[in-house]
Amino acid sequence: MLSGLLGRKVGMTQVFGPNGSAVPVTVIEAGPCTITQVKRATTDGYEAVQLGFGAAKLKNTTRPILGHLGHSLPQTPSQRRRQQQTQAKARQEARKTETEADEAEATEATEATGATEATGATGAKTARSVSAKRRRGASQALGPFAVLREVKLVGDDSVAVGQTVDAAMFQLGERVDVIGTSKGKGFAGVMKRHGFRGGPRTHGQSDRARAPGSIGPGTTPGRVYKGTRMAGRMGNDRVTIKALEVIQADPERNLLVVKGSVPGPNGGLVMIRKGAEQLALAERTSAAGAAKSRG
């Protein structure tokens, strides 16, 4: 079971419950996501799946990412130059072998000719192997995607590269965690950032209304403690809202409606993750199944 799914925040609205009460909800475009890589404990040390979400322009995607996604890439000038150098070196060695060969002995000449062909074939094979290594997985070109993220893989579900995952993995009434990047507020003072009360407005204190006040004692300790709340950059942080209830799930339109607010602006990237209880249950079930199979 995949632990999460990528999506984008569409916006907030309200729906009406069975008793007529208005429920504030957030609409999320959840998926579809494509599995671009599967990591196993035997090869990578942990179980995870890399998901691709959103479309990106081919011309704006770097060659390493395209190669990772299995695209066939033309050779760069440096690669072409290296290949030409390898072939030229092979030809030079072949000519040197022919020059040193004894023309009087036909067997030696035949062996020299065979070595020449083998050397040329080796050079071509090396160039082809380097090119093939750079274009591994070219039979299944994916993407390119705007976002690549890893999510934890729980259990022994069979997943494969190229498989599509959508909002069908979430059920009505399920509890999920939504991870996003909060809105950036810029440089903010202590009243906005930490909720300070501010100084007195009377008794002639005309410039102390929004000041932070004292930041510590004097001689002892003679420094400012780490973590003292001061003015600074506010927002633009990774925020996780836990245990949001799924009100609606529409896999056909790739929409997920959750109760409450979600961090970030409209159109911001979010990750919808399975709740902690459900992940723990899946891990226990997987461990029990593994123990039973060993027994």
pLDDT at 209: 92
Q: What is the mean pLDDT of the chain?
A: 85
pLDDT at 136: 39
Ranges 13-27, 64-78, 126-140: which has the least confidence: 126-140
Instruction: Indicate yes or no: pTM above 0.85.
Output: no
Residue 6: Cβ within 10 Å count: 24
Ranges 119-123, 156-160, 217-221: which has the least confidence: 119-123
Ranges 15-24, 121-130, 248-257: which has the least confidence: 121-130
Average pLDDT on 143-154 reads: 91
pLDDT of 124 above 70: no
pLDDT at 141: 87
pLDDT at 261: 95
**87-91-94-98 Cα dihedral, nearest 10 degrees:** 170
pLDDT of 125 above 80: no
Ranges 117-131, 181-195, 229-243: which has the least confidence: 117-131
Closest CA to 55 of 128, 150, 136, 144: 144
- What does the alpha-carbon distance between residue 86 and residue 88 come to, in Å, rounded to a whole number? 5
Give per-residue pLDDT as tens, 165-209.
Answer: 999 999 999 999 999 999 999 999 999 999 999 998 888 888 889
pLDDT at 113: 56
Average pLDDT on 118-127 reads: 45
Closest CA to 244 of 269, 272, 266, 265: 272
**160-166-168-174 Cα dihedral, nearest 10 degrees:** 110
- What does the alpha-carbon distance between residue 244 and residue 76 come to, in Å, rounded to a whole number? 49
Cβ pair 127, 81 in contact under 8 A: no
